[in-house]
Structure 1
Amino acid sequence: MTALEFLDYASVFIFALTGALTASRAQLDLIGFAFLANLTAVGGGTIRDLLLDRNPIFWIDAPSFILVTTFAAAVVFATAHLFESRQRALLWLDALALSVAVAAGAGVALSLGHSPIIVAIMGAVTGTMGGLLRDVVANELPLALKQGELYVTAAFAGAIAALTTTQLTDNPLAALAACTLVTLTLRAGSIAFGWRLPVYKSRPPKQ
């Protein structure tokens, strides 16, 4: 298994856990768990592969991804009641999944020889779109769009870290590790310490 394949499997599994935890908050049945887990897990990678015209799409080429996500859904279905705060668990699992998925997306774009801006966009797309789809379907405010939180920003920063590292070393694993570390650090800081970006505030009209 290559490093990119490992990252894909890791991000798919962890994102599937977050999708299943969201299903538990909505008190869905087992099929609902599996649906949200799969949507969350493969959504970002599917959009990435479609945009890059990568054929076949990764989970069609390797259906074992669907087995992994369905297994994750079943595990959460049986154990979700053990989490005292499902929202807190969801936030931290999502942060971990984001960091791994951004590295996977950026790594795929790098391996295909795309320009730096495409690498950055594909890293962000892979990391954020699955969670965005999960939250929209579950009728929740998407984590990616919460006021000032470092989410999409963390994804772009991680992809840029990967690009920067490729200029310093020929070791692709170093670039993927830098991407994961930067993304996770920024997202964790936003969750644990309230790191935020300034947000726009409208002013009342002049009288």
Structure 2
Amino acid sequence: MSVDHPVSMPALDLLGIGFGPSNLALAIALDEDARATGRRLKTAFVEKKPGFAWHNGMLLQDSRMQISFLKDLVTLRDPCSPFSFLKYLQTQGRLEDFVNLRSFLPTRIEYDGYLRWAASSFDEQIHYGEAVLSVKPRSTGGKVRALEVVSRRADGSETTRIASNLVMAVGGRPLLPAPLAELDGPAARRLV
């Protein structure tokens, strides 16, 4: 199978690799900042999974979260956010039922529904089913000015994106690219 030359996309202010809860919370924070300031960054996220997924295989019937629902994607940062778990419950017609439970620990299935609900607001920015192949610096005058990220879709086609900033959401088990994994010291520890 031959692969066509990569398609190059316009420059982004920020590209996120991975789209789980961490980068989802970042997308929400950026969106809320844009609404408040009127300055919207050009952002995109690349996720190798074909759709949003959180803790696949751990969504057992009636299993509950071990943390408070107040540690959702936004409440500790902005209790009035329209992306809170409580707002999700309200949109689903479940707020009153949840408040009347004997526990404020949602089921894992319900929390997964919340994360999917929040993620659906960013469908235009997320490129599911793309695996990142490489990240290379783009230098000008001896300084790295941007990063070139090449990813491959399931059909084998490749896309090149240029971004000023890169955020890697490495997931529950950090898997850093080889050049970063070889770093040592405080800078490397901040990456994980």
TM-score where L is the length of structure 1? 0.25
Higher RCO, Cα 8 Å, sep 6+: 2
Query: Of the two, which has the highest radius of gyration?
Result: 2
Q: Which has the higher helix share?
A: 1
Please, what TM-score do these two structures have when normalized by structure 2? 0.26
